[in-house]
Structure 1
């Protein structure tokens, strides 16, 4: 049975726009020779890049709109002494603004909270690399996204998928759990995102042979979205695996012959 847990393919442009509606969009003067970031225009550029990836133009998206957006922000904030966050909406922006700037209270750093474009562009590059199965490259970009937006459920889902591709189940599980925790603050559709996070957890737990925990994750998803087909299919897969292992154990050394 081929099991693919690509939970994010359905996260389309409409949801991306909904998630960014009303997000803060501060800009800052760029360094010499660069075009200053423009929050609204940069979000549109990232959306264009995501659509290009979905249309199969992955390298063109990476080399075009996504790299352009990231280059502008990296140039603009290359020499800032502030900690810069990139918020999806008003709720996570307030949380980021309240975070301590440094572990040293005697020398606190300023905290800047921008709109979503910068972190979203890193996410989009991670998404593109995941589509190419270049998981190490995806993880590198998604870590940058999470540095700017540490509570973003979508970015935790995407990096959880990248670790899944590398069969690094502990790391995958940790990010899917974080996605579940952060969904109420950053998800456009909380039940859908939470269910995706639970399915990712279930997938990792199944691969770790922690079947009872995996079943619980899938059943939790089904409570949110009754009849959700991937959870039902995975529960069936778990029962097949459990039955197969029980048969192997029964036919092992010392088992009665035919």
Structure 2
């Protein structure tokens, strides 16, 4: 595991901007991530539990996944950080970690320069997985509660926003669904750990926008959204199918 102290990066940035500090300042933010030499995230014991839980969910052992590994990981971190001062975020890699580490410099509850700790993604991913599990059980209100917890820890994570948007699709709240998918598209560059992952996150977000826009009878915008996915992934079958559906709607209207 590699430990990073974000303050060093902030000092370097200020010097490049021509405003180097006059005196050393105590670091307010730390990043602790499990990454390899290339900066790609590794799988620690907690992450392996979450990934194992996802396999259980996909195999239909949903409640067992919730009651077992997911609750175990979540309970561990909730106990560890209960009552701790400052802010904590979960990051997938160095890129989003650096962004989260700077959030403590913003005013929070009337106080500025709040200490920030950025850790790996297992805790937030466990909330997401529990939300995904509840969605599979059609318990969408419970799913939303879990996904909001995941986003509180990783506010720029497109995967969590995409999943939360899906719960609003199931309840027919098209405007909220659309807004979340738009946010997810906007943060894909930050939360995607590889170019392929970024493309997938964007395409999911664009397809979701297209779906909501069709329901809102904004067919031109929906067409543009699906075409945006096809620009990223030529021949993407779901987008092609939805564009065909839009053509049928237009034909029926005439």
> Does the TM-score normalized on the shorter chain lie above 0.5?
yes
Partner Cα distance (1:72, 1:96) in 2: 22
Q: CA deviation at 1:106?
A: 4.9
What does 1:13-28 align with in structure 2 at a 5 Å threshold?
A: 24-25=33-34
CA contact (8 A) 1:25 1:116 kept: no
Point out which structure has higher relative CO (alpha carbons under 8 A, 6+ apart): 1
RMSD: 1.7
CA contact (8 A) 1:83 1:101 kept: no
- Provide TM-score, normalisation by structure 2: 0.80
Q: Does 1:146 align with 2:154?
A: no
Q: CA deviation at 1:24?
A: 1.0
> How many matched pairs?
212
Q: CA deviation at 1:245?
A: 2.8
CA contact (8 A) 2:108 2:114 kept: no
Any idea what the Cα deviations from partners look like across 1:190-231, whole Å, max 9, x if unmatched? 112211110010011011111000000001111111111100
Instruction: Tell me what 1:216 maps to.
Output: 224
* Pairing partner for 2:250 from 221, 242, 245: 242
CA contact (8 A) 2:206 2:229 kept: yes
The farther-off stretch of 171-180 and 214-223 is: 171-180
Partner Cα distance (2:185, 2:228) in 1: 11
Instruction: Tell me what 1:82 maps to.
Output: 86
Partner Cα distance (1:101, 1:109) in 2: 8
CA contact (8 A) 1:101 1:111 kept: no
What does 1:24-103 align with in structure 2 at a 5 Å threshold?
A: 24-25=33-34, 40-99=44-103, 100=105, 102-103=107-108
Instruction: Tell me what 2:235 maps to.
Output: 227
Q: Does 1:166 align with 2:171?
A: yes
Structure 1 runs not aligned, ≥5 long: 1-22, 27-38, 247-258
Instruction: Tell me what 2:118 maps to.
Output: 113
